[in-house]
Amino acid sequence: MSDDFTTARYSEILEVAKTKFRFATFADRHGEGPVALWRHDIDFSPQRALALARIEADAGVIATYFVQLSSRFYNVFEPEITAIVRQIGALGHAIGLHFETEAVGHSQDVDHERRLAFEASVLERLAGKKVSAFSLHNPTTMSGVSLDEPEYCGLFNASHPVLRDEFAYCSDSNGIWRFRPLDAMVQDVQVAKLYALTHPEWWQATAMAPRDRIQRCIDGRALYGARYYDRLLSANDRPNVGSGK
């Protein structure tokens, strides 16, 4: 299964897909001819998202990248991460909000629509680009929250079930294909409207097990923090006291 999730394989899938589909944003998903909605939820790694965004730009196609403001695995307010989000937008891709209801709680006192509008406005300022759609993070684990309308606060709901009725859908959630593999969907002559959800952390240069891919993202994040700390002390001529181990 892990062999399906290399960037080389991703490029091959794109080359086939672009000969068949018009790649569209959620705003312009209607129209003549075969169409593909190419969605990325950035759960772990903006760096891997940028790698895919560059592959797509080289192939001449667009996707929508959904960015999480409440992620436990990256901080969009860090200058380096903000710069990545802006680079993705500059490559021609759309930026959406990946909204996590758990971050603000599931009690009836929480105004999720207000929070949704707030996060979208913040992301717009960080990305320097209009945000017109949102997707839900871990929607199957949500409890006591109902965001099942097609639109909220002027934002299209990319997680709305109506898309499953309009499009053939596949997802690489948890590093395995849900429903059907993307390459099979792309090559199926019966599929004229495709909704592909991918998560950039799964797509890496070498094949490895899904859990190993996540550990690589976590370790990379920790290593970045350690190197930043060391550089900061060195640049300011401060003692960097270690344990001696």
Per-residue pLDDT at 144: 62
Domain assignment of residue 27, yes or no: yes
Domain count, the chain: 1
Name the residue among 13, 14, 52 with its Cα closest to residue 183: 13
Domain assignment of residue 95, yes or no: yes
Domain assignment of residue 240, yes or no: no
Per-residue pLDDT at 1: 44
* pLDDT tens readout for residues 67-102: 999 999 999 999 999 999 999 999 999 999 999 887
Per-residue pLDDT at 179: 86
**Cα–chain-centroid distance for residue 133?**
12
* pLDDT tens readout for residues 16-65: 999 999 999 999 988 889 999 999 999 999 999 999 999 999 999 999 99
Section 201-205 average pLDDT: 95
CATH number of the domain that residue 113 is part of? 3.20.20.370
Per-residue pLDDT at 23: 97
Domain assignment of residue 215, yes or no: no
Domain assignment of residue 243, yes or no: no
What rounded mean pLDDT belongs to the chain? 91
Q: Tokens 């903006």 sit at which residue?
A: 46
Per-residue pLDDT at 32: 84
* pLDDT tens readout for residues 118-166: 999 999 999 999 999 999 987 665 566 677 888 999 999 999 988 989 9
pLDDT-derived band at 178, boundaries 50, 70, 90 = confident
Per-residue pLDDT at 127: 98
Domain assignment of residue 229, yes or no: no
Per-residue pLDDT at 107: 58
Domain limits at 201? 2-208
Domain assignment of residue 176, yes or no: yes
Q: Position 7: which residue type?
A: T
Euclidean distance between CA atoms 202 and 69, whole angstroms = 20
For residue 224, what are its two tokens? Answer: 């970045």
More confident residue, 179 or 120: 120
Per-residue pLDDT at 31: 80
Domain assignment of residue 242, yes or no: no
Section 1-24 average pLDDT: 90
Contact 54, 90 (CB under 8 A): no
Per-residue pLDDT at 94: 98
